[in-house]
Amino acid sequence: MSPTTEPSVEWRSTPEGQAFVRFVELTRAKRGLTEEIRSIERELDMLEYQLRETLTTGLQRATIDGMTVYLKRQLYVRHREDATAAQLIQALKHNRMGHFVLETYNKTALTNHVRELEQEHKKEIDEGLIPSIANLLPFDVRAVLTVDHTYSIVGMETGKKG
Of 67, 68, 92, the closest CA to residue 78 belongs to 92
Decide if 146 is inside a domain. no
* 98 vs 91: CA distance, rounded Å: 9
Residue 109 predicted with pLDDT over 90:
yes
pLDDT band at 162 (very low <50, low <70, confident <90, very high): low
Contact 109, 115 (CB under 8 A): no
Decide if 87 is inside a domain. no
pLDDT band at 100 (very low <50, low <70, confident <90, very high): very high
Residue 161 predicted with pLDDT over 70:
no
User: Does the pTM of the predicted model rise above 0.75?
Assistant: no
Residue 2 predicted with pLDDT over 70:
no
User: What confidence score (pLDDT) does residue 142 get?
Assistant: 87
User: What confidence score (pLDDT) does residue 6 get?
Assistant: 79
Mean pLDDT of 60-84: 90
For 12-41, the pLDDT digits (tens) are 889 999 999 999 999 999 999 999 999 999
For the chain, what percent of residues have pLDDT higher than 70? Answer: 96
Mean pLDDT of 129-140: 92
* 94 vs 88: CA distance, rounded Å: 10
Decide if 98 is inside a domain. no
Decide if 37 is inside a domain. yes
Q: In total, how many domains does the chain have?
A: 1
State the Cα angle at 90 between 140 and 101, rounded to 5°.
55
* 145 vs 148: CA distance, rounded Å: 10
User: What confidence score (pLDDT) does residue 30 get?
Assistant: 96
Q: What domain range includes position 36?
A: 6-75
Decide if 90 is inside a domain. no
Decide if 30 is inside a domain. yes
